[in-house]
A and B are shown apart, each in its own frame.
Chain A
């Protein structure tokens, strides 16, 4: 058999071969052999890099890498360690003395880091700007009276009242970052997009909506060691796209849906990390509205709902059940909190007693997404068994959260809510005080004893005493039957096997400096 190709066949064949050769090579984005650099997925682009006006954890994680605080969180822990401070001492309930390390310098030629910069950085939070407007995170430093500079590298933080939460909410967090006073004055409003710091990394590049690049700061002299020469952050909004990009090898680390953990773990070079979160997901009624103003009705719906079925149906049985406000890893965790089991007889008896033997109609408002819709449908089915007819109202995210503005939540009946937690219990309890009715206390539950406990917890220094206070506060929440807890959530991450991610216990905050090469 002979093969005599025509001119046309040769041309077509040649063109096809060229195309295959051109397209057949693996794209450089997939090479992934360079282990001095990692590419991480962030859920959204950087937004505002001024620590006092940052817009969330994505900004904060970058700010943490570039700017120092007097203290910083230890990798993987809610505890802190010294950072820019060489010494830090709680002299009294209202005074903290600090001494800075010598030789710390800001990048970009903005000079040494001094106590004046610390004073400027912290007092910004209690001093309105030139237009008389407070910074976004002013509340973090509400206990601050002033910062006194006692020497170029030494000073005293003077508080108006004891504030044990200050360490985790402000000093180690974003509101405790030290900005250069000189840079701040020189950059003006560009401080939101240009990050000047003295930390282990510099923000080498930020191409909006494409990527940011952190690179090791060669002039850094502090105690924290950065492990990767370069960290590239790619904003990817869609979870599915992120998972595909991880599978294709373009990114090395991403948060994933825990339900996809198993399939992702099956990839040859992937490692899955799960971290129980400290969020709180619950649903509850507006107790100002009938029939939920009757505690018997509230108790009845607590008996009517099947939380375990929700965890199974909406969370694939992977998420832990929450029985109270505070998650197990937090101070004030109430380990003996009652686990309210489903009991339809009790629910019906209570409804009969409250005059609703034939049930009633109500509306459950949720933020529109697949998981919350699944939860709502299970609640709907559970309640139908005791004669309560539930209409589900699913709102798009921004429209849903707008219910917290100007008393817009007063018309709610039942609502399903998720709040993110912080490492101090007082952060979590603050949203349930009477003063929050009309803002974020959508159950509109008022209890003077709870308010007093929240206040007391905020100024009590002894951890054992604080623990008792927050457990007492949670007992009051439980007695009200206005809050039906579901879960504290679960975070899951996919990373390359050779990479050990540096995630804090809340899952939302990452220490890029704590991303290391896996030893195993």
Chain B
């Protein structure tokens, strides 16, 4: 009975996720019809004849009605086919699969970096609220949050690439050379993570202070348990739950935010793939790329949602008692 309730919850979440993905793709395809310009003009140059444009659009399938294109897209999807690049016929799936690891590595590295720095900052702040450390962390956090990542990117490039020549400007590193790939990852990761460090630090600090103000913590203090032990053992776990939920959504945000870092650092990831495809009206690539991004976004949210349910005993109890979603 309990397991059935959990299955219903999971099924509901998966169905919602599938609907969100399908809805996004249909919306995207509808929106692309409203944007002036087409790949034919880009391919044929700005002064192509209308006949050549029409011929090429027919070849690409852009002359077909929206509904037919939607069905074609989902029909192909069933066999793992995301369509073809309109410029050279390369499969979109292979383009996306080549780009995805670069974006995923950047997003994961940025998230890890943000957590690794944001967590201790939050702990220090909450340990001595209102003190010098707290004020310093608050100042830094707001600074990190409010500085746009492209400004940070350019600053890092000027200092560490142009002046010091420590880190490269371009690309994602040599294929098969992990060291080189990590080297190429450092600056974009730092640029993308900076804002999140501040965000995590602020968010977690607030949660920690909230937990530290609760009765059971006061009781622990009365029993003489050290403040450090209270922080690490009793306060961090419940305080981190809201941060986990934000991180789940934040990962999706990072995938989107990676566009800037990828364009500035010329990193061949999914964000820059979609950016270039939009500029050239390469619709199959836009659709395939966005489909995968939406999938990842929904998936990470789902994982965050489920893991929160598993970590939080109250939520776990609610689900297993059949009170479901």
Binding site for B on A (CB under 8 A): 23-30, 44-45, 47-49, 53, 55-56, 131, 133-134, 136, 138-139, 189-190, 192-193, 207-211, 234-238, 240-241, 244-245, 247-251, 395-399, 401-406, 408, 419, 431, 439-440
CA A403 – CA B56 in complex, angstroms? 17
CB of A234 within 8 A of CB of B170, answer yes
Known: A24-B166, A48-B88, A241-B169. 5 other contacts (CB 8 A): A244-B157, A249-B165, A398-B38, A401-B37, A405-B41
Q: Are B41 and A402 in contact (CB under 8 A)?
A: yes
A279 to B180, alpha carbons, bound, how many Å?
A: 42
Most buried by A among B43, B165, B186, B281: B165
- Tell me, yes or no, whether B29 is within 8 Å of chain A by CB: no
Q: B147 contacts the other chain (Cβ, under 8 Å)?
A: no
Q: Which residues of A contact B98 (CB under 8 A)?
A: 208-209
Asked whether A244 lies within 8 Å of B171 as measured between CB atoms, the reply is: no
B36 sits at the interface (CB 8 A):
yes
User: In the bound complex, how far is the Cα of B53 from the Cα of A439, in angstroms?
Assistant: 11
Question: Nearest chain B CB to A496's CB is how many angstroms away?
Answer: 15
Chain B residues with CB under 8 Å of A244's CB are 154, 157-158, 161-162, 169
Known: A30-B165, A244-B169, A250-B169. A401 touches B41 (CB 8 A): yes
Query: Residue-by-residue, is B162-177 near A (CB-CB < 8 Å gives 1, otherwise 0)?
Result: 1001111111100100
- Report if B325 contacts A (CB, 8 A): no
Sampled A-B contacts (18; CB under 8 Å): A27-B166, A28-B180, A48-B88, A136-B43, A136-B56, A207-B175, A208-B95, A209-B268, A237-B266, A241-B264, A247-B162, A248-B161, A248-B165, A249-B165, A399-B36, A401-B41, A439-B47, A440-B47
The CA-CA distance from A378 to B169 in the complex, in Å, is 36
Measured between alpha carbons, how far is A247 from B46 in the docked complex, in Å? 33
- Smallest CB separation, B85 vs chain A (Å): 9
Stretch at the interface among B131-139, B224-232, B272-280, B312-320: B272-280
Asked if B42 is an interface residue, CB under 8 A from chain A, the answer is: yes
A402-B37 contact in complex given A55-B42, A189-B89, C-beta closer than 8 Å: yes
Specify which of A25, A136, A245 is in contact with B52 (CB 8 Å cutoff): A136
Q: Judging by beta carbons under 8 Å apart, are B162 and A439 in contact? A: no
Expressed in whole angstroms, the minimum distance between the Cβ of A268 and any Cβ of chain B is 13
Interface string of B267-289 (1 = CB under 8 A from A): 01000110010011100000000
Residues on A with beta carbons closer than 8 Å to the beta carbon of B273: 209
Q: Does B16 contact A (CB under 8 A)?
A: no
Residues of B within 8 A of A (CB): 35-38, 41-50, 52-53, 55-56, 59, 87-90, 95, 98-99, 154, 157-158, 161-162, 165-172, 175, 180, 183, 186, 263-266, 268, 272-273, 276, 279-281
What is the CB-to-nearest-CB distance from B9 to chain A, in angstroms, rounded to a whole number?
A: 41
CA distance in complex: A56, B38 (Å): 16
Given the known A-B contacts A238-B266, A398-B36, are A27 and B43 also in contact in the complex, defined by CB atoms under 8 Å? no
Of the candidates A26, A251, A405, A431, the one whose C-beta lies within 8 Å of that of B165 is: A26
Contact call B37/A248, Cβ cutoff below 8 A? no
A410 to chain B, nearest CB (A): 14
CB pair A27–B38 under 8 Å, yes or no, is no
Residues of B within 8 A of A250 (CB): 168-170
Q: Which residues of A contact B42 (CB under 8 A)?
A: 55, 398
B61 to chain A, nearest CB (A): 13
In the bound assembly, the distance between CA atoms of A133 and B273 in angstroms comes to 29
Which residues on the B side are within 8 Å of A251 (C-beta)?
A: 170
Query: What residues of B have a CB within 8 angstroms of the CB of A131 in the complex?
Result: 59
**Nearest CB of chain B from residue A263's CB, rounded to whole Å:** 12
- Selected from B166, B175, B266, the residue in CB contact (under 8 A) with A245 is B266
CA distance A265 to B47 in the complex (A): 36
Complex contacts, A55 vs chain B, CB 8 Å? 42-43, 87
A27 touching B168 in the complex, CB below 8 Å, given contacts A133-B59, A398-B36: yes
A375 → B minimal CB distance (Å): 18
> Is A210 within 8 A of B43, CB to CB?
no
- B52: chain A residues at CB < 8 Å are 134, 136, 138
If the complex has contacts A133-B55, A134-B55, are A245 and B41 also in contact, measured as CB distance less than 8 A? no
- Shortest 3 CB-CB distances between A and B: which pairs? A398-B37, A399-B36, A402-B36
Closest to B41 in A: A401
Q: Which chain A residue shows the least CB distance to B278?
A: A398
| In-complex Cβ contact of A404 among B43, B46, B183 (8 A) | B46
- Residues in A whose Cβ lies below 8 Å from that of B47: 404, 419, 431, 439-440
Q: How far is the CB of A379 from chain B (nearest CB, A)?
A: 21
Q: How far is the CB of B162 from chain A (nearest CB, A)?
A: 5
CB distance from B316 to the nearest CB of A (A): 40
Q: Check A29–B170 contact: CB distance below 8 A.
A: yes
The residues of A that contact B166 with a CB separation of less than 8 Å are 23-27
A249 and B163 alpha carbons, distance in the complex (Å): 11
Inter-subunit contact B263/A238 (CB<8 Å): yes
- Given A48-B88, A399-B35, A439-B50, A210:B169 Cβ within 8 A: no
B157 / chain A contacts, CB cutoff of 8 Å: 244, 248
Taking CB atoms, residues of chain B closer than 8 Å to A405 are 38, 41, 50, 53
A398 pairs with B88, CB closer than 8 A: no
Most-contacted residue by chain A among B59, B99, B154, B280 (CB, 10 A): B280
Closest chain B CB from A10 CB (angstroms) = 21
Contacts of B89 in A (CB 8 A): 189-190, 192-193
- Chain A nearest CB: distance from B84 CB in Å? 9
Given contacts A27-B168, A55-B87, A440-B47, contact A237 B41 (CB under 8 A): no
How far, in angstroms, from A48 to B88 measured CA to CA in the complex? Answer: 5
Q: A241 and B265: CB pair below 8 A?
A: yes
Q: What separation, in Å, do the CA atoms of A236 and B157 have in the docked complex?
A: 15
Q: Which interface residue of A44, A47, A190, A209 has the most chain B CB atoms within 10 A?
A: A209
Measured CB to CB, the nearest residue on chain B to A192 is B88
| Chain A residues near B180 (CB-CB < 8 A) | 28
Interchain CB contact under 8 A, B165 and A210: no
Query: Which chain B residues lie closer than 8 Å to A401 at the CB level?
Result: 37, 41, 46
User: Once the chains are docked, how many angstroms separate the CA of A401 from the CA of B41?
Assistant: 7
Contact check, B169 vs A209: say whether CB atoms are below 8 A apart: no
Which of B35, B99, B167, B171 has the most A CB atoms < 10 Å from its CB?
Answer: B171
Residues in B whose Cβ lies below 8 Å from that of A395: 36
B266 contact set on A, CB distance < 8 A? 234-238, 241, 245
A53 / chain B contacts, CB cutoff of 8 Å: 43
Bound together, the chains give a CA A249 to CA B175 distance in angstroms of 21
With the chains together, A230 CA to B168 CA distance in Å? 21
A190 to B84, CA, bound (A): 13
Chain A residues, Cβ within 8 Å of B263 = 237-238, 241
- The interface residues of chain A lying within 8 Å CB-to-CB of B56 are 136
- CA–CA, A96 to B90, complex, Å? 38
Instruction: Give complex CA distance A30, B162 in Å.
Output: 10
